[in-house]
Homo-oligomer: A and B are copies of this chain.
């Protein structure tokens, strides 16, 4: 093995950072063999020296974040948040250091400008851990499939919501009860908004779409619906259609534009994504030549995320030692994000109606008037004979593929119709063949 050691700086010593530090220290001989030179952890930047940091020797810890940045050949940023992380990453790239980050919130807003800076300085910016936790998805999308054409990506990329929906499906819990259970078990935070409202998934959707379609998408451009409005009735409807409910990050090629969205969806039980339960995340990729591929693994956790970070660290370190880069910055082909109304999928619409002749046909004509084609209709009778509102039957319509704007028109008209109860629900269906 040859030459000077590479100086590695680490920003953040939380769940992920502490595991990254452990691997750098414990596996240093193995890492040296894989990189071709020694990786020297020169400092761990933290905001607060008072917290205990087991496994990290006190002399490595510092609150001088810029000092860590300025001494690094390779900077690992796992502190999270927009600032000061953004400024520090920018400073590192500007210094000519290579950067590995797991910061999805930062990248979902700043990937384009940070990539440009990395290109200009001819250094690497790697971010496998930001996209789908420990699931290796960046290299498959960027390299393995680079001779093919990705047509769509669908991901279960948030563990908290996958756990909650699992509980609702398997135990019949309401959203509130399932959330409470997730919080008690440590799967959901005290303020669960970023997870349950889909913001975390939206940041990942933006990164996935960028990788899949060689374009730039910001997290704020992603149409985002969470799962807090999902009812036990929605879950029952899905089961009746041989489906389950998943929060999906979906990106597909819309020709001149790309569709990028996060929303709960019915997924047929026969689809590989349906079997991805609580502990796992997964990304399902459809391409023109290869067909259907799925990547499954832990979406979060300190050690798994550290695995993804360290894969990037070895890669960028090798590039510094041996030259070369597998990045392909110049091949971006920017396409706008399509408005959600233009996106097309299949839908399930559920509504309560009076049980009398002619109602079905009146409902069907609402669909037809918006050019939404119905594939199947299911009718069931509501429990509670003594209902006062007169709506005694439930109809479930499964549509063929239709534009979101047309479906919205259907739902609006049905909600206004006097022969339909107030509780008109719809859900997108993804993954139906």
Residues of A at the B interface (CB closer than 8 Å) are 19, 23, 27, 30-31, 33-34, 36, 128, 134-136, 138-140, 143-149, 272, 275, 280, 287-298, 301, 303-304, 306-315, 318-319, 322-326, 328, 330-331, 333
Which chain B residues lie closer than 8 Å to A301 at the CB level? 291
Provide the residues of chain B in CB contact with A310, threshold 8 Å: 146-148, 289
A128 contact set on B, CB distance < 8 A: 144
Pick the residue among B34, B140, B303, B324 that contacts A289 (CB under 8 A): B303
Query: Please, could you name 19 A-B residue pairs with CB atoms under 8 Å apart, sorted by A?
Result: A23-B147, A33-B331, A34-B146, A34-B331, A134-B291, A136-B144, A139-B144, A140-B140, A144-B311, A146-B314, A146-B315, A147-B312, A147-B313, A147-B314, A287-B307, A292-B297, A292-B298, A293-B295, A294-B294
- Contact call B147/A140, Cβ cutoff below 8 A: no
Q: How far is the CB of A273 from chain B (nearest CB, A)?
A: 11
Asked if A272 and B289 make an inter-chain contact with CB atoms under 8 angstroms apart, the answer reads: no
Residues in B neighbouring A34, C-beta threshold 8 A: 146-147, 328, 331
A143-B311, A144-B311, A290-B304 known; 13 new pairs, CB 8 Å cut-off, are A33-B331, A128-B144, A134-B290, A136-B293, A139-B143, A289-B304, A290-B308, A292-B298, A293-B296, A294-B295, A315-B326, A318-B326, A326-B326
Q: Smallest CB-CB separation from A319: which chain B residue?
A: B324
Least CB distance, A359 to chain B, in whole angstroms: 41
- Residues of B within 8 Å of A19, CB to CB, are 289
- Residues on the B chain within 8 Å of A318, using CB: 326, 328
Contact of A290 among B140, B298, B319, B323 (CB under 8 A): B298
Determine how close the nearest CB of chain B comes to the CB of A94; give it in whole angstroms: 23
- Beta-carbon nearest neighbor of A294 in chain B: B296
Tell me the smallest distance from the CB of A133 to a CB of chain B, in Å.
9
Most buried by B among A31, A34, A135, A146: A146
State which of B149, B294, B333 has its C-beta within 8 Å of the C-beta of A297: B294
> Which B residues lie within 8 Å of A297 (CB)?
290-294
